[in-house]
Amino acid sequence: MKYIIVTGGVLSGLGKGITVSSIGKLLKSSGLRVTAIKIDPYLNCDAGTMNPYQHGEVFVLDDGGEVDLDLGNYERFLGENLTSDHNITTGKVYKAVIEKERKGEYLGKTVQIIPHITNEIKERIKRVSEKTNADVTIVEIGGTVGDIESMPFLEAARQLRREMGSESNCVFVHTTLVPVLSTVGEQKTKPTQHSVKELREIGIQPDVIVARSAAPLDYEIKKKISLFCDVPLEAVISTPDIDCIYKVPLVLHEQNLTAYLLRKLELGERKTDLDEWRKMVETLENPKHEVSIAIVGKYTHLKDSYLSYTEAIRHCEAALAARVNKIWIESETLEERPEELEKLKGVDGILVPGGFGNRGIEGKIRAIQFARENKVPFLGVCLGFQLATVEFARNVLGYKDANSTEFNPETTHPVIDLLPEQKGVKEMGATMRLGAHKIHLKPKTMIAGLYNSTVIFERHRHRYEVNPNFIEVLETHGLIYTGKSEDGRRCEVLELKEHPFFLGTQFHAEFKSRPEAPSPPYFGFIRACLEYRKGRTEGKG
């Protein structure tokens, strides 16, 4: 087994996750089996209960794991489906050790950070490597070197390298910041030097330094980092700010990082095939078409809250050679200032993403009503799917108090509700439907055409469902549920008759979208937006 351990210094948010994803892409393109692990130092067992404003998007895996958004990038770059085991948290580790202690598995020994916590960390890393049969396992240690939370993980990484018996079996990559002081306009290496010094004090000497900066590193700056940090000059990699994360593997490869890592890991010379990836990036940089879509959300102040949505759109841009201008609209503003609806008049499509809680719901419903009445292409995901049902019940069926019981438990028209077996269960996790589930699509429907199939598997993260008692009346008036769960009890997809593109999915198709294989609902949506724009332009002409 071979390991690449990626650490971060100076400050958070430097892009360790993209570095891991890009290195994984380079090694996989060299014919190797690659997997990736994210270590999160927080005490939560998983990301399921975390606030999107603090942590960004909660990414959901096939097995129902609610994990850090970096695992979404791993999946997109590697084209692999990961598992909950690929996300190691302090909470998971300490919980497991305490449970073992309570069962007497440590035979009365005093349980300590070293060796018991560090052994648990190493065992979990090795378990993933063995289960996936990976040639190389890339491990990202979250946080910043020097954080007290990260110390046990860094110590475990140090021990892992020693236990592997050879430096060729475990390589350390350190991501760091090279800032520029505006007063002198010079790239400064001191933060990097101090960060590497802290790593050395732990017992870790980095083999590669990936330096983040606003502009490419000057040659003299690379030489200085090489000298002061005791890293070969060829292993000082410059990663300047770029506008597209999918360029990063190409930037790293152009600096011969692939060859260096292969040599360092003693994996021999290999051809790295990035032709298709390079074509995809070139298409993104040279779009032939342009559209504008409104994303009406509840967490738009932090774009990472909708990372998988924006990446799914990016994948469609590559497939359709189009630039998609995203207009972010906070749904609360549509409630407080209805005149904000004017912004929707200039867009070619409206996307209403998922979310939880009552805030901003009425604003989302107004956006959905606008899309339905004005025949603007619409895609509703999870909560957006549920609110499309609520909007239709209110404004077409005339059920003025129609709602989800999540928001109004006293409504006389609960078109969205918990299923009977879910009612009375207090714990959110106990009623949450998570992970990939089998879905049956009605033949000869729009959704079946997009997937070119009548059976699909997509990922979920929700509690409430379309109330079966209202399906017949809704469908009679034109809102058709064209996808159902395997047992037939849950509605998964809705379409609207007499509308060019009105689609809602209870599942989160964006979680399985890939750069070279865009999600079918998103592809259909952006294609419909292009057609809508073309029609408007020709109409004006």
Q: What is the CATH number of the domain that holds 467?
A: 3.40.50.880
Q: Are residues 165 and 19 in the same domain?
A: yes
173 vs 89: CA distance, rounded Å: 20
Domain stops at, among 244, 263, 279: 279
Q: Are residues 275 and 297 in the same domain?
A: no
Domain stops at, among 249, 279, 309: 279
How many folded domains does the chain comprise? 2
Tell me the average pLDDT across 457-472: 96
Q: Are residues 323 and 275 in the same domain?
A: no
Tell me the average pLDDT across 170-192: 91
Q: Which of 504, 501, 491 is nearest to 391 (CA)?
A: 504
**Residue range 372-392, pLDDT digits in tens:** 999 999 999 999 999 999 999
Task: Write down the pLDDT at residue 420.
Answer: 77
Task: Write down the pLDDT at residue 475.
Answer: 96
Q: Are residues 108 and 148 in the same domain?
A: yes
Catalytic residues: 382, 508, 510
Plot region of 241 (φ>0 → left; ψ -120 to 50 → alpha; else → beta)? beta
Q: How many helices (H) and strands (E) does the chain have?
A: 19, 23
Q: Are residues 208 and 305 in the same domain?
A: no
Q: Are residues 303 and 234 in the same domain?
A: no
| Lowest-pLDDT range of 14-18, 45-49, 56-60, 410-414 | 45-49
pLDDT greater than 50 at residue 541: no
Percent of the chain with pLDDT over 90: 84
pLDDT greater than 70 at residue 430: no
pLDDT classification of 67: cutoffs 50, 70, 90: very high
Per-chain mean pLDDT for the chain: 94
* Number of residues assigned to the chain: 541
More confident residue, 52 or 489: 489
The CATH number covering residue 211 comes to: 3.40.50.300
412 vs 473: CA distance, rounded Å: 15
Q: Are residues 250 and 341 in the same domain?
A: no
350 vs 138: CA distance, rounded Å: 38
Secondary structure of 50-105 as H, E, C letters: CCHHHHCCCEECCCCCEECCHHHHHHHHHCCCCCHHHEEEHHHHHHHHHHHHHCCC
Q: Are residues 461 and 477 in the same domain?
A: yes
Tell me the average pLDDT across 311-326: 97
61 vs 64: CA distance, rounded Å: 5
Element (H, E) at 392: helix 383-395
- Does residue 168 contact residue 265 with C-beta atoms inside 8 Å? yes
Task: Write down the pLDDT at residue 102.
Answer: 94
**Residue range 333-383, pLDDT digits in tens:** 988 887 888 889 989 999 999 988 889 999 999 999 999 999 999 999 999
- Does residue 191 contact residue 211 with C-beta atoms inside 8 Å? no
Tell me the average pLDDT across 151-179: 94
pLDDT greater than 70 at residue 528: yes
483 vs 495: CA distance, rounded Å: 9
Q: Are residues 389 and 519 in the same domain?
A: yes
**Residue range 98-151, pLDDT digits in tens:** 999 999 999 989 999 999 999 999 999 999 999 999 999 999 999 999 899 999
Strands of the 34-40 sheet, one edge to the other: 87-89, 34-40, 136-141, 2-8, 170-177, 208-213, 236-240
Q: Are residues 416 and 484 in the same domain?
A: yes
Q: Are residues 56 and 96 in the same domain?
A: yes
Task: Write down the pLDDT at residue 49.
Answer: 84
The pTM for the full model equals 0.93
Domain, as residue range, for 152: 2-279
Q: Which of 351, 344, 362 is nearest to 385 (CA)?
A: 351
The conformation of residue 46, written as its DSSP 8-state character, comes to S
Domain stops at, among 235, 263, 279: 279
Q: Are residues 190 and 111 in the same domain?
A: yes
Task: Write down the pLDDT at residue 300.
Answer: 82
Tell me the average pLDDT across 170-183: 92
pLDDT greater than 90 at residue 421: no
